[in-house]
Amino acid sequence: MTSSVSDPVRLAEALLFQSSGPVSRMTLARALGEDVEIAQIVSQVARRTEGLGFELVAAGDGWMFRTAPDLAESLKAMLERPPERLPRAALEVLLLIAARQPVTRPEIESFRDASLPQ
């Protein structure tokens, strides 16, 4: 598939962004056109992503976006944080809703013997 897109750099960026793995030279050539200089396009994409939270890297027989190395530890720490637990009262309400659907607010308050926060 040959493309007549006016900005091949943007098309290459979009292709790299949507891909779950490395994008090969052949795939880029099919998308951008055989007459486009792939090395020049890849170089422009790399320049345009300098200083962002991700960067273009060579991987296997192609290229892909990866997290910027200086952000990797912060990102890893944030993603590994355990999810916050719900309070016991919230879990009780969810259990009641799951077990007795449909349920009204007064029924929940009666079951818990406490009013629900507004």
Same domain, 65 and 18: yes
Looking at the predicted structure, is the pLDDT value of residue 115 above 80? no
Give the model confidence (pLDDT) of 41-60 as tens digits. Answer: 999 999 999 999 999 999 98
Band of residue 108 on the pLDDT scale cut at 50, 70, 90:
confident
Rounded CA separation 108/25 (Å): 61
Q: Could you tell me how many helices (H) and strands (E) the chain has, helices first?
A: 6, 3
Rounded CA separation 81/30 (Å): 42
Q: 48 lies in which domain range?
A: 8-69
Residue whose C-alpha is closest to residue 112's, from 97, 101, 22 = 97
Q: 20 in a domain, yes or no?
A: yes
Same domain, 28 and 62: yes
Q: What is the pTM of this model?
A: 0.59
Beta bridge partners of 62: 24, 59
Residue with tokens 């944080």, as numbered in its chain: 81
Q: 2 in a domain, yes or no?
A: no
Give the model confidence (pLDDT) of 77-104 as tens digits. Answer: 888 878 788 888 888 888 888 888 888 8
Looking at the predicted structure, is the pLDDT value of residue 5 above 80? no
